[in-house]
Amino acid sequence: MDIRLPAEFAIIARHFKQLAGPGALGLADDAAVLTPPANRQLVISADAMVQGVHFLPDDPPETIGRKLLRVNLSDLAAMGADPLGYLLTVSVPKDTPDAWFAAFAAGLAQDQAHFGISLLGGDTTSTPGPVSLSATVLGHVAPGAALTRAGARAGDFIYVTGTIGDGALGLRARRGDIADPDGFLAGRYRLPQPRLGLALAGIASAAMDISDGLLQDLGHVCRASGLGAEIHAPLVPRSPAACAAGPAWLPLCLTGGDDYELLLAVPPSAEAALLAEARRGQVPMTRIGTFVEDAARFDVLDASGMTMVIPQAGWSHF
């Protein structure tokens, strides 16, 4: 009897095997086997992405795998962890052409090289529905050095990296609601930039990545730390493209999500060290407000110091 490899394994061999790193056993075994880095804690996060929800049907396959990877890497960045590798599940329609897999894997290869990680394992299946992806990323951190959402203290400054709102505006630009002549906003939606590589242990007292909207995610840090917050909307850094969209889009910038920037709590005494580290890492870093003792307070102030009313704090799937 002749036992040939069926198409599924041919796809894996042709497109995914090149992505496999040490421990992946060539993606040809039941699981990956790896020796954990000595004297480090493991940091692990998993995310799913569904076509029509997290990316658009006409997004190029090169970028959707990269977006998934970057969204996950952003979670590691928020913990102050260094990335190690990832596992991937890919569920696509049966008639998905070989060129789709080639482009999808080429995008991943590019980001693997950029972030110094490799594929450890995963699963490829068919689906009668939209393309559904998931990734689990593994990273590591010095024992006890992981940044959480729970460490902020009253009086800590609220800092964000990069610019806020571009991802949400980018989605609207893709839908034709906003002009985006050079594609900057759409690009920010399609390919977030995880803020890996900043040495924030001993500087930030709490951290998270902004994925569901600045206000909602700030609310998470407040709840985890038992604090309230006051931020100044005019201080929230927006890109030239986001500013050009006009002031009517400010609420969406604050609540839209898909930023994958870091939100940090920083004691005033650590501010100078934060800004030095931001310069070293060439990451824009902006102070937008302060954590306050009163857990019932959550104020977003406008240019005249008046409290803004924003209808929906952030993104929810349900």
Restricted to residues 279-308, the positions that interact with its own copies (CB under 8 A) are 298-300, 307-308
Range in contact with its own copies (rule: CB under 8 A) among 119-127, 169-177, 237-245, 281-289: 119-127
Range in contact with its own copies (rule: CB under 8 A) among 27-35, 109-117, 166-174, 284-292: 27-35
147 token code pair: 């940044």
Report the relative pairing of strands 206-210 and 261-266 from DSSP bridges.
Answer: antiparallel
Question: x/- binding map, residues 45-74, to its own copies, per CB under 8 A?
Answer: xxxxxx-xxx--------------------
Report the relative pairing of strands 298-301 and 228-232 from DSSP bridges.
Answer: parallel
Q: Which is nearer to its own copies, 110 or 132 (CB)?
A: 132
| Minimum gap (Å) between residue 86 Cβ and its own copies | 9
Binding-site member from 69, 81, 117, 200 for its own copies (CB under 8 A): 81
| Minimum gap (Å) between residue 196 Cβ and its own copies | 13
Q: If residue 270 lies in a helix (H) or strand (E), which one and from where to where?
A: none
| Minimum gap (Å) between residue 263 Cβ and its own copies | 10
**Distances in whole angstroms, Cα of residue 100 to Cα of each of 8, 39, 61, 109, 255:** 14, 41, 6, 14, 33
CA distance 281 to 275: 10
Q: Closest by alpha carbon to 166, among 96, 232, 41, 260?
A: 260
Q: Is 17 in the site for its own copies (CB under 8 A)?
A: no
Q: Which is nearer to its own copies, 46 or 179 (CB)?
A: 46
Q: Which is nearer to its own copies, 2 or 182 (CB)?
A: 2
Q: Is 193 in the site for its own copies (CB under 8 A)?
A: no
Using the CB atoms, write b or e for 155-193: b if 16+ within 10 Å: ebbbbbbbbbbbbbbbbbbbeeebebeeebbbbbbbbbb
Q: Is 317 in the site for its own copies (CB under 8 A)?
A: yes
CA distance 226 to 219: 10
| Minimum gap (Å) between residue 53 Cβ and its own copies | 6
| Minimum gap (Å) between residue 113 Cβ and its own copies | 22
| Minimum gap (Å) between residue 183 Cβ and its own copies | 26
| Minimum gap (Å) between residue 132 Cβ and its own copies | 4
Binding-site member from 14, 22, 28, 113 for its own copies (CB under 8 A): 28
314 token code pair: 């952030």
74 token code pair: 């952003």
Q: Which is nearer to its own copies, 71 or 173 (CB)?
A: 71
R_g of the chain computed on alpha carbons: 21
Binding-site member from 25, 154, 201, 243 for its own copies (CB under 8 A): 25
| Minimum gap (Å) between residue 123 Cβ and its own copies | 5
Q: Is 199 in the site for its own copies (CB under 8 A)?
A: no
Q: HSE-up of 227 (CA within 13 Å, CB side)?
A: 25
Q: Closest by alpha carbon to 208, among 41, 45, 72, 74?
A: 74
Number of residues that bind its own copies (CB under 8 A): 91
Number of CB atoms found within 10 A of residue 150's CB: 13
Number of CB atoms found within 10 A of residue 121's CB: 21
CA distance 296 to 315: 21
